Each structure stands twice: as C-alpha cells, then as structure tokens.
A = this chain, B = another copy of it.
Amino acid sequence: MQREVVRTAAALVIGNELLSGKTLDENLGPLAKALRSLGVRLCRAVVVEDDLETIAHEVSALHRAYDVVFTSGGVGPTHDDVTIDAVARAFATDVVIDAHFAALIRQAYGDSCTESHLRMARVPRGSELITSAEIAWPTVRFANVWVMPGVPEIFRMKLSLLRSRLTGPVTFSSSAVYTCIEESELKPLLDRVVAAHPEVEVGSYPKWRDPTYKTKVTLDATSESAKQAALELLLSLLPPGQLQRIE
C-alpha cells in the first residue's frame, strides 16, 4: 500500500490522571520520535481532561489545523472513556457498533463476552478500522484523526500501523554538539551559525550541574549538506578544548 504523505501532526493526550499528577504520560515521547523518524513535524500536543465537550472541541480544532491528529487515551468500556463519542461529536456523526470489530471481540472473549466488552466495538459512523498482519485488533481512524489507546504498551505497539500508513515529505538530518561552554558565552557563536545558516534549526540546551558538559547544541535541517555546513562552522568557532562530543 502506498503511504500517505503528511507534513504536520498534532497530538491530543486525554486523561484526568495525567493532569492530576497521578500518572506520567508515556505516549507523547514515542509518538514524537516515530513521527520525527518518518519526517513528519509534530507541531503541537494538548493534554486535556476526560470531558466529552473539551475533547470534541479540541479534535475539531486540531483536525482542521494539521494534516494528521493522534488522540491518546479515553478508549475503553468504562464511563470515563469518552474519546469515541467526542470524535463522533467533533465530526457531527453518531456512534455505531462495528460488526467486524464486535465479531472479533466475541471471538476473543467467547462465552464470557458481555455488553461491556462489546462497547469496545463502538466507533464513529464512517470510521476506517486499521489493522495489519501483526495487529488484528483494529485502530479507529476517522478522517485524519487516529484514535489511539492510552495504555503505553499498546500505544507503542500500534505505532507500527502509523509507520506502515504514513510518511513525511522530508528526512530530518540532525547533530548534537556537547560543549563545555556556558550557554551565555556560547550565544555569540550560535548567533553566527544561525545567521549563516537560516535553513538550519539551531537549539541550545544548558545542562544543570553535569560534570561532562555545560551546553548541548542541536542542529536540524531537511538537507544533510546544510546541517553539515552549519556543524562545521560551529566546530570552527568553538574555542580549543571546549568540544566534549558530537552525536
């Protein structure tokens, strides 16, 4: 299957437990990495509570502003799982039981299958159910919105579906330069790199009380040669003995 080319992405991370500090989100990092490796720019992430109206509003806004949207969490059989209803609300459609999904659930749970289990087959009407040879359990996609589960192990597993279906228009080329110079002293050097290579994104990250380095400088570009030229300029500007390592 031809992969769809998407340029920009947004994430909507759902769950009271994340905002109350009970649970640390573990899904945004792996999603960001996966998208980056595909050449897709993750532009924005929003964390919201388990509130149907809030989620619907956010899905609607992100869906219009970005090429692809991933929701994380709020999928399941219980009262606090409102993501499916919220996505349906965002697209002004209703929620139906998907027959194929329901059959899968009946097969999986056999005689112990209840109405609660079958709630997991509820999808916004008009959804696509994405599966692969490895992942038979469907992932709901409506328009450009992928509805991903909150459980980190399952979320990470499902990133393979995304890799098989989407790709970015570019490849990012990146380097990280670890220096023994304090960020303030590095600034004039960085300003020269930024001015000479406007197509390269230069990041500067001070490290607090690390015995090995003081500031990490990152260089990112969609052209390997542009990134390399900026790297060479930076290295030529660094005073002797101030380079710790390059990654």
Contact = CB atoms under 8 A, between A and B. Distances in A.
B42 A19 contact: yes
B153 A209 contact: yes
A126 interface: no
A154 interface: yes
A45 interface: yes
Interface in A181-237: 183-188, 190-191, 194, 201-209, 218, 220
A197 to B, nearest CB: 12
Contacts of A77: 183-184, 187
Contacts of A172: 20
Total copies of the chain: 2
B32 A21 contact: yes
B202 A22 contact: no
Interface stretch (A46-54, A82-90, A134-142): A46-54
A202 B20 CA distance: 13
A35 interface: yes
B205 A23 contact: yes
A12 B152 CA distance: 23
Interface of A: 16-25, 28-36, 41-50, 76-81, 109, 114, 116-117, 119-120, 151-154, 172, 174, 176, 183-188, 190-191, 194, 201-209, 218, 220
Closest 7 CB pairs of A and B: A21-B32, A21-B33, A45-B47, A116-B187, A116-B184, A78-B204, A117-B184
Given A20-B32, A21-B31, A119-B187, 10 more contacts: A20-B42, A21-B29, A22-B218, A25-B28, A76-B183, A78-B186, A78-B204, A114-B185, A117-B184, A151-B206
